């Protein structure tokens, strides 16, 4: 047990009220503390709880630290008797600390939830992008296979100097393609060739979703119409026939 001679004199005492209301009720805190300590307590120990009365109400305060000497050195207990220049430092209330920690915890939980939601959204977007990319690759592969199948059904391309050879040029939205046909080739065969040669950006025009239009002479080739009409019958039997591809909605 400590005796009065063993306890050093206090130079600094740090206190923390249990309730935040202490700061609202105690207007002159230093005077209240000085009056509540002197004559009531002789020794203060670090970690103990003391009680100070104010206007008929009792406030609990935790002794969070006690120091002796100059500069203040923390010790386990100090004597506050006959200490003229006792410095009393007030810290955050225990209730305020609990509220602050709870708020910080809620903020952290909110931040974690937001981060988790953002990660889930990013993962979903990545999955959707990967699925879309895979679907685009599948569609491109299917279109490529279809075009290769169409090309296999085309008649052999005649030599440029062969009798009755027509060089067919087709203007596309961004480029043009050309191939030689005999004048007896049907417009359906020309359409099949166009489908087989369309660039990937125009795969949507496959099938019956385009027309081939000749200006001179005027002729329009539509899917399902004039399938047996030859280039010669359509008046496109010169050395060169120019056609424009028109996409249908």
State the CATH number of the domain containing residue 236: 3.10.20.90
Residue 129 lies in a domain: no
Q: Could you say which of 40, 72, 97 is where a domain stops?
A: 97
The predicted structure's pLDDT at residue 101: 95
Tell me the pLDDT tens digit for each residue of 28-76: 777 778 778 877 899 999 999 999 887 778 899 999 999 999 899 999 9
User: Own/partner pairs for 188-194, CB < 8 Å, 24+ apart?
Assistant: 188/226, 188/227, 188/228, 189/154, 189/155, 190/221, 190/231, 190/243, 191/221, 191/223, 192/150, 192/153, 192/154, 193/150, 193/151, 193/154, 193/168, 194/170, 194/245
Tell me the pLDDT tens digit for each residue of 136-186: 888 778 877 878 888 888 889 999 889 999 999 999 988 899 999 999 999
Q: Which of the four pLDDT bands, split at 50, 70 and 90, describes residue 198?
A: confident
Number of domains in the chain: 2
Q: Which of the four pLDDT bands, split at 50, 70 and 90, describes residue 5?
A: low
The predicted structure's pLDDT at residue 243: 93
The predicted structure's pLDDT at residue 153: 83
Per the structure, the complete domain to which residue 240 belongs is given by 165-247
Residue 81 lies in a domain: yes
């Amino acid at each position: 047990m400590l005796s009065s001679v063993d306890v050093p004199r206090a130079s600094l005492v740090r206190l923390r009220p249990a309730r935040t209301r202490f700061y609202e009720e105690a207007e002159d805190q230093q005077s209240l503390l000085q009056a509540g300590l002197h004559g009531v307590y002789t020794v203060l120990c670090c970690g103990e709880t003391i009680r100070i009365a104010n206007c008929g109400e009792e406030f609990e305060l935790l002794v969070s630290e006690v120091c002796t000497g100059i500069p203040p050195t923390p010790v386990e207990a100090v004597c506050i008797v006959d200490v003229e220049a006792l410095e009393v430092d007030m810290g955050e209330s225990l209730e305020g600390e609990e509220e602050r920690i709870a708020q910080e915890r809620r903020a952290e939980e909110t931040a974690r939830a937001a981060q988790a939601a953002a990660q889930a959204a990013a993962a979903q977007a990545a999955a959707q992008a990967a699925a879309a990319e895979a679907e685009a690759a599948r569609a491109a592969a299917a279109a490529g296979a279809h075009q290769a199948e169409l090309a296999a059904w085309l008649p052999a391309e005649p030599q440029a100097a062969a009798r009755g050879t027509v060089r067919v040029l087709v203007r596309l939205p961004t480029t043009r393609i050309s191939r030689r046909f005999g004048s007896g080739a049907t417009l359906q065969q020309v359409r099949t060739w166009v489908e087989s040669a369309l660039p990937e950006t125009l795969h949507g025009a496959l099938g019956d979703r385009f027309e081939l239009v000749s200006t001179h002479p005027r002729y329009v080739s539509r899917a399902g119409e004039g399938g047996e009409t030859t280039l010669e019958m359509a008046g496109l039997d010169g050395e060169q026939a120019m056609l424009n591809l028109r996409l249908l909605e």
